[in-house]
Structure 1
């Protein structure tokens, strides 16, 4: 038995009547955690988000029921209350349930809401962390999200609901002058960038949009804050995409300049 076999054998068991709220990572199956992989191999029912890569779902055990429960902005979506009710019903029927979410279940994925409801209903559950797309997309794009001498913090925020009166105080984020990583921001990107500049963030601040991070179709657009919304439209960058705004974005170009020299050294 290999060391990996021993690790997999020693992982927790997904028991009948139990729900695992698991993260599937940023997209590519290579970024699954071992515990999520184990859950896929044990579950009787996999209740999954819309953006889960088919290759990930293909790792579910033979005979597992695959149940779509995706929520997509601006498109017909499952109602959250119905999703949670289905998790409870499946668990009470004695099924081993994997609730599979993109990224990490507690990062803008409503995993917290589901956990509270499961707990209130007496359903056993486990949280299985995943690699959140807001961080993974930066690494996959050669953007070091923290860099000594450049930044001391990172802001993770959602652009969903940014057009509401009770939404984010973008001026306050602008004053921090630290990198801002935005999830679900494509619909409101123009108003968000305008609010950040109105709050004092320089329009020349480097910015990037990363679509389909870690997948073969990944696209990376690098520009500045003032032009970001317009360039995204012109280039046809569409969701799912992560937005990052901050001086760390400029590091990508410097790393790309060094790559030819590294490749020459390897030959």
Structure 2
């Protein structure tokens, strides 16, 4: 038997009787998958781990508090033998053989009639890995293969084309602050499966180099606007490509709903009757300060943080920000899109009571290889932007948290 590989098969155990002998760590690891499969589980063991006991208390299995007895494996579909009693395991394995019950045995795989593969899941797919060489079984090796395949499916580096008809639509994907490794797993997977990607200058550009050559990449900044405003042109491009039956990804920097006009695109798609999936992204308002060694909150220093758009100056009649109230806050103030207006912002905050000596940091190109941090105060912020030639995109952090971490220039 050892000369032949195991025959792989997926067992459908919903509502079918399964017996688990032993309530130790092996059972604890295997039970969740059996529960998820919908099996009718009877666990036989005098003692169990606290986690297994919790499963029994929750009604996910029936626990019989006793050792194995002959007849326990009668009229069942599958057995997991995992007691610490080798003799009991041998007797149970023999009973399973007599009753033609597929049986996994934790202490002696050669005496089992079934092996448990290393399994993982990704988007409706179960990956199961078995070693074909019975004599060379290495659980760590099969688990490593499993992990590599599942990770590849999740992050989009391992792409299997769908041969069945896909449902066309748009995925609004937050690409994160810039580092391509900081996009979410789901975002990367949708990006890898896209027919068309519409991106802008704040989207993580390095992700585009990973796309297959057949994917159409459209730079939103170069769309022919004609009589339309820029956002309307982007909306129209999303709608037109989706109506052609294509899978479209709108790749945006940070999070789509944090100053990304994401809801405007969702609304336009809804009016056109096009399905839209929203994938949140890591916002630069938190991640960029973190990458520069600045926590937006810190015990004893800041109990809140406020995120503000600085693209409109405080004295502009279009501004919706209550700057006088912000000046009275004791927490952290994070300003996005504020490089051009920071001098006016600082002047306004100081005029409404904020100390001119309040620490401030400007973080340009955060999380990327070009990241740099310039420290200043509210009083010197405008001068620092000019002296150090700070350019967008940059995140500005105002508050005592700027001085919490190690000095970056030390």
Q: Could you say which TM-score interval applies, normalised by the shorter chain?
A: 0.7 to 0.9
- Residue matched to 1:183: 336
- 2:406 match: secondary structure: helix
Deviations 1:104-156, CA, capped at 9 Å, x for gaps: 11111110111111112211011111111111111111111110111111101
Deviations 1:11-67, CA, capped at 9 Å, x for gaps: 9x9944210000111111111111111112100000001133431111223310000
- 1:214 match: secondary structure: coil
Give the TM-score, by structure 1 length. 0.87
- Residue matched to 2:189: 38
Deviations 1:156-191, CA, capped at 9 Å, x for gaps: 110012242141221111111221101100111111
Q: Does 1:94 align with 2:245?
A: yes
Q: Please, which of 140, 149, 155 is the counterpart of residue 5 of structure 1?
A: 149
How far the C-alpha of 1:5 sits from its partner, in A, is 3.3
Deviations 1:193-226, CA, capped at 9 Å, x for gaps: 1111111111111100000001111110111111
1:44-193 equivalence runs, <5 A = 44-70=195-221, 79-162=230-313, 163-167=315-319, 168-193=321-346
Task: Measure, in 1, the Cα distance between the counterparts of 2:273 and 2:397.
Answer: 40
Task: Measure, in 2, the Cα distance between the counterparts of 1:130 and 1:215.
Answer: 16
Give the TM-score, by structure 2 length. 0.58
Contact 2:365 2:372 in 1 (8 A): yes
Task: Measure, in 2, the Cα distance between the counterparts of 1:5 and 1:191.
Answer: 52
Which structure 2 residue ranges, 5 or more long, are not aligned?
A: 1-126, 128-145, 156-161, 223-228
Contact 1:40 1:61 in 2 (8 A): no
- 2:177 match: secondary structure: coil
Distance 1:10 1:231, change over 3 A: closer
Find the structure with the greater CA-based Rg: 2
Contact 1:43 1:61 in 2 (8 A): no
- 2:395 match: secondary structure: strand
Deviations 1:66-125, CA, capped at 9 Å, x for gaps: 000139xxxxxx700110111011111111000000111111111011111111221101
Q: 4+ residue stretches of structure 1 with deviation over 3 A?
A: 3-11, 13-16, 253-257
Contact 1:22 1:101 in 2 (8 A): yes
Task: Measure, in 1, the Cα distance between the counterparts of 2:148 and 2:232.
Answer: 38
Q: Does 1:226 align with 2:379?
A: yes
Calculate the aligned-residue CA RMSD, in Å: 2.4
Which structure 1 residue ranges, 5 or more long, are not aligned?
A: 72-77, 258-267
Q: How many residues align?
A: 252
- 1:230 match: secondary structure: helix
Higher relative contact order (CA 8 A, sep 6+): 1
Task: Measure, in 1, the Cα distance between the counterparts of 2:361 and 2:318.
Answer: 26
Q: Which has the higher helix share?
A: 1
Distance 1:63 1:108, change over 3 A: same
